[in-house]
Amino acid sequence: MKLKNGAEYIDSLRDIKPVIYYKGEKINDVTRHPATAPHVRAAAMTYALASDKEYRDLAVATSHLTGRTISRFTHVHQNIEDLIKKVKLLRVLGQKTGTCFQRCVGLDGINAVYSVAYEIDRKKGTDYFDRFKDWLTYIQDKNLMVVGAMTDPKGDRSKSPADQPDPDQYVHVTERRDDGIIIRGAKLHMTGGVNSHEILIMPTVAMEEPSRDYAVVCSVPVDAPGVTMIFGRQASDDRRDKRERIDSGKPAFGAVGGEAVIAFEDVFVPQDRIFMNGEAEFTGSLVYRFAAHHRANYGACKTGLMDVLIGAVSYLTLIQGTAKASHVRDKVTEMIHLCETLYSSSIACSAEGWATVSGAYMVDTMLANVCKQNVTRFHFEVARLAVDLAGGFLATLPSQYDLESEDVGHLVKKYFSGVEGVPTEHRMKISRLIEAMTGGTALVESMHGAGSPQAQRIMILREGELDKKIKLAKALLGIPVKKK
């Protein structure tokens, strides 16, 4: 059955039995556990928009493999229009959830593996591309959620995967058999892992021949034997555990993406789910393309989050009576400026997209890295301005229990009130939303998701074409330019 809406997606998660732990205890149902349920609901929004007439054109696409209508989160980009529609969809989803909706990594992995598998087959005579298309057709027809698993623990970062004292610090093949392979290792920071259906495993760094056992791309179901997940702690997660509707900040959709450790302990992968198996020379292209797609996304989803944050702080200034002050208006204007500048980066790298030999479209990699570099600065500056405008009570506000207390509730209502006629609870709730969006894991993910800031700077310099720029300067000055 194809999953058609959010409710069906949530129901589908109850039919699978992944092994998941949180704070030392096993989670039996991610759709009901207070730590994971908000993230399930955020991901469900990606299904819900496909049924919404207003957003359907953005949320669905036509499969180039089957001609059938599919989720855009399972689509291989076929042109620039696809890339731009994806950007617009991500911004809307950021606005609707105020958090991470978790399907981007799988989408970016699908697009990177598609083009690289094609190129491996052309050079090596393998059949990875056909295998991948068969698997992708299955994913599209069922409308399954895929977690893109790329980030390895890395162990001693001064050593290559093959030189690690502990070989499991990178996912690797321990045994090759006629019917498949056995893998070991782990992936960290896996957004949406606990509420996905499938895991798409990819290498995290460019590798050379000695590390060929680590050059593996494959897929396994989340409940495959040997797969164990550990759900990560998040800012204010105990507030959600106690179901404090005010203190949780974003009780419906969670604080960020719901990240998990995914460990693979002698997991069997059948041949038809293996899409790279030792072709180390292609790992660089795969990582490069995945990173560019993923970094391009941040200028869209994070813009949607900024829209919510700007709206939240603007509402707070209204109910605090400061909205008309010139310095407040100036700071809100700066927040909007940074937000739209970031969005323009995401649109630009999509508009400058290009076709790989497989036919799948890539974003402009230079502009994608510039986009993500902007995220590491602009989102933090918007958050700083939001905290500035909100005021110090953001850090000292009493809890929901104090608000509802028979003994002190009247004091909280009296002394945390704002403009007359606005309930104190509204001011408290909006402040908790701002707190959740400006502290803890949300901004850490903006900084380090899709690679730390230095990773983008390396790529920006590499893509900067300094030789061409030097020639431009020489030509302007009449200095002879040597021809190669």
Instruction: Find the length of the chain.
Output: 484
Annotated catalytic, 25?
A: no
Residue 414: CB atoms within 10 Å: 9
Distance CA 341, CA 375 (A): 10
SS3 track for 303-349: HHHHHHHHHHHHHHHHHHCCCCCHHHHHHHHHHHHHHHHHHHHHHHH
Whether the CB-CB separation of 282 and 209 falls below 8 Å is answered with no
Catalytic residue among 191, 283, 438, 441: 191
Residue whose C-alpha is closest to residue 73's, from 120, 9, 150: 9
Distance CA 55, CA 37 (A): 24
Catalytic residue among 39, 172, 294, 379: 294
Return the bridge partners of 186, or none: 263
Annotated catalytic, 298?
A: yes
Distance CA 261, CA 190 (A): 6
**Measured in Å, how far apart are the chain's first and last C-alpha atoms?**
60
Name residues whose C-beta falls within 8 Å of residue 248's C-beta, 6 or more positions apart in sequence.
236, 239, 240, 432, 436
Catalytic residue among 9, 99, 100, 204: 100
Catalytic residue among 119, 198, 259, 279: 259
Name residues whose C-beta falls within 8 Å of residue 340's C-beta, 6 or more positions apart in sequence.
303
Parallel, antiparallel or unpaired: strands 69-71 and 146-149: unpaired
Catalytic residue among 77, 114, 189, 301: 301
CA of 438: how far to CAs of 241, 271, 377, in Å? 20, 45, 13
Residue whose C-alpha is closest to residue 49's, from 37, 61, 39, 63: 61
> How far does CA 244 lie from the centroid of its chain?
26
Catalytic residue among 9, 36, 74, 104: 104
Annotated catalytic, 189?
A: no
Distance CA 171, CA 152 (A): 7
Annotated catalytic, 77?
A: no
3-state secondary structure of 40: helix
Annotated catalytic, 104?
A: yes
Distance CA 196, CA 337 (A): 35
Whether the CB-CB separation of 141 and 2 falls below 8 Å is answered with yes
Catalytic residue among 114, 298, 343, 361: 298
CA of 136: how far to CAs of 19, 104, 113, 255, 288, in Å? 24, 15, 11, 30, 21
Annotated catalytic, 244?
A: no
Annotated catalytic, 445?
A: yes
Annotated catalytic, 191?
A: yes
As given in the structure block, the two tokens for residue 357 are 């030999």
Name residues whose C-beta falls within 8 Å of residue 380's C-beta, 6 or more positions apart in sequence.
443, 446, 447
Distance CA 129, CA 357 (A): 13
Catalytically active residues, by annotation: 100, 104, 191, 259, 294, 298, 301, 445
